[in-house]
Structure 1
């Protein structure tokens, strides 16, 4: 026994390594799982349930193994610190990519976008989504305008990493213009934004465009919709510093240059976030609450919320961009100061764009298909007699979003 102990002590590094693994595993098992990561600005994988089916069925076992691997990757102890250490190590090694983010010049970060997502039925998800939109606009000819915002790598080209093979979005933009022609107006703001490429149009550390970039695109939309954009001219924005966005959260680059976030307090309006759109559900909840069968807390979770356009409390958190429109809600209705009604079907790029519409429309309805429940887009159009419908997405999210099929839910297509 003594000889074995002496043999082990000859290799203290190995002993320390196994001791570290043991202590780390024990500590990791004692820490509660986190629901989300503020640093990475996303929800974290949770521990999947183990069942007999998971153990016996080959496909279920494979699925369980994948989910458990995601859980381990997301929940290991000190994840944020390890991400930071990885960033510093890769900087020393002069690596120009980390966790799907490419480092450009002058502190500019780019989301890696080299290939298009594949659709479940074959082909690309982009082709599927173009067809989803084509079917939608065919049912509403002359009503819809489609704006697909180019990625930062298509506009801020002077700061790109050398020879990075980004997807060329231009041919796809041309194809959409051709496919949608006749039934809808297609708006490609690439040239509009390139005309101001020396200005602050995209964040360095976040995947969104800035409010200034959204403003130039809004001018293009207003011209196409016959709206008076002059009411938004000359406004002075409020600026907030120390914004480190989603690209920073993925890399935690130790020397990242924080961004400035701008918004216009003058462009405000009462916004109602509608939790339940189905009338039967709304009536049932109201009756249960009035009968004392539902607590205040439970009622607050499903009742309409009346708020301003800007959740300024978010400005003191890492995810400052979430201040616009209180994030991505399924359905919101905004009271504007103009005339007519518009429906905006969008991803998060529209969140800093929508406030400009308050000067042009009396009612702005905002739909995020990822969270829309209790109704369909066609039903909203039939019920509200909109003057305009705007589909607004960033190219990258448009090319990967699997929810655009919901544009045609209930249509029979």
Structure 2
């Protein structure tokens, strides 16, 4: 083949590729969001002479091209698969791919000083609430990676239990009732449907087991509900959760479904009031049928991490009002503590700002307060325990 023909074929191939991509963009349109990456995608930049002169226009166009590249998610998944097969890679970002199908996010190591700062904030708020005649309880849930910490290899250790054991003795039971659910979860970890394979959260099954101890310790002498007071069913389309959004489904040997617990024999539905919206359920069932395989179906519990929500129980076992400070692990749990209180008020301090704690407690006539976090978020997210 002579040089002239070679150059001609090379140019033709290049032009064919460029026009093929251009045609694909015209047909497919612009994607707004990547569910896989949990972020908004760059959109076509607006032309202006100033943007061209500064170089911002070309930089924006480069981001647009990368984000809107045809079959971008498929290429990302293919790259992950190649890394696994060719390089034997089993750690992606901060997720370890265990041989039994669990995707496990590493829990970082935290210091004694870190634990002391958290404990001080918790003890201080418990002391303050005690002056208002409000009982404070704390539940720190060992998260999925901590429960399955023995699955991590020696070359990629996780430190969830270390941080958990460092914090627990620092809680002052003069002011805060420290409810330890760790042994319940450790002993039951091999039971079916306790934790998701591909998401970092727990299932309602595990949340209920923890709730049995929590509700008994917070309400001694009150009739305790059992698992038989709910029906249990795996529902919704299969999905790949938060851990799989880091590794892609290419490395997820198992998908997940959501365990739905439905309380029996209610005289009326629960009333949930959130951000100028009222609902008659503690579930958002539409989240379970979102066709996107990376959809966050865990948000079927409650809805999402709202700054504030209020729940009214139809058949409360007490006349008390409960205030919960929470992270997302509480979302699957709230349905099991709500029956014990007339009203449940829930705050997520990552999003609820300018809290006047004493005014809030007085406004809603709070009797009990529950601080409910998983053992990783309580370290990694200081806002959760910043009560002032």
| TM-score bucket (shorter structure) | 0.7 to 0.9
The residue aligned with 2:175 is: 183
Q: Distance in 2 between matches of 1:43 and 1:304?
A: 25
Distance in 1, Cα, partners of 2:211 & 2:63: 39
Q: Deviations over 1:360-412 (max 9, x none)?
A: 1111111222332575444321212222111111122222224336521xxxx
Match of 2:321 in 1: 341
1:90 and 2:86 aligned: no
Query: What is the Cα-based RMSD across aligned positions, in Å?
Result: 4.0
Q: Does 1:271 align with 2:250?
A: no
Shift of 1:49: 10
Structure 1 contact 143–387 (Cα < 8 Å) conserved: yes
- Tell me which residue corresponds to 2:99: 105
**Contact 2:144/2:195 (CA < 8 Å) preserved in 1?**
yes
Alignment of 1:140 onto 2:129: yes
- Give the equivalent residue in structure 2 for 1:239: 234
Query: What is the distance in 2 between the residues matched to 1:396 and 1:21?
Result: 47
5+ unaligned residues in a row in structure 1: which ranges? 56-60, 276-302, 409-413
Aligned length: 366
Aligned residue among 218, 222, 243 for 2:215: 222
The equivalent of 1:305 in structure 2 is 278
TM (norm. structure 1) is 0.74
Q: Is structure 2 residue 315 aligned with structure 1 residue 315?
A: no
Q: Which residue of 2 aligns with 1:407?
A: 387
Cα distance in 2 for residues equivalent to 1:343 and 1:132: 17
1:366 aligns with 2:366: no
Does residue 1:390 correspond to 2:387, yes or no?
A: no
Q: How big is the shift at 1:326?
A: 1.5
Matching of residues 166-177 of structure 1 within 5 Å: 166-177=158-169
The structure-2 alpha-carbon separation of the partners of 1:168 and 1:364, relative to structure 1 and needing over 3 Å to count, comes to closer
- Paired residues of 1:101 and 1:109 also in contact (CA < 8 A): yes
2:72 counterpart residue number: 79
In structure 2, the residue corresponding to 1:139 is in which secondary structure?
helix
> Is 1:150 the counterpart of 2:127 in the alignment?
no
Partners of 1:99 and 1:24 in 2: CA distance: 30
Over 3 Å counting, the alpha-carbon distance change for 1:49 and 1:168 in structure 2 is farther
1:36, 1:170 → 2: CA distance? 37
Q: TM-score with structure 2 length normalisation? A: 0.78
**Whole-angstrom CA distance in 1 between matches of 2:67 and 2:169:** 41
Note the C-alpha offset of 1:168: 4.1
> Can you list the C-alpha shifts for 1:32-70, whole angstroms capped at 9, x where unaligned?
654433344x3326579999xx99xxxxx9xxx999998
Change (3 A) 1:115 1:69: farther
Residue of structure 2 equivalent to 1:249: 245
1:179–1:304 CA distance, 2 compared to 1 (3 A): same
State the distance in 2 between where 1:70 and 1:399 align: 34
Q: Deviations 1:207-260 (Å, cap 9, x if unpaired)?
A: 001111111211121232125463133233122262432222222233521224
2: CA distance between counterparts of 1:77 and 1:127? 50
* Distance in 2 of aligned mates of 1:68 and 1:381: 51
Q: Which runs of 5+ in 2 are unaligned?
A: none
Give the Cα separation in 1 of the matches to 2:364 and 2:162. 35
Deviations 1:281-330 (A, max 9, x none): xxxxxxxxxxxxxxxxxxxxxx3323311111111123321111122222
Structure 1 residues 68 and 342, CA, compared in 2 at 3 Å: closer, same or farther?
farther
Which is further off, 19-28 or 152-161? 19-28
- C-alpha displacement of 1:107: 0.7
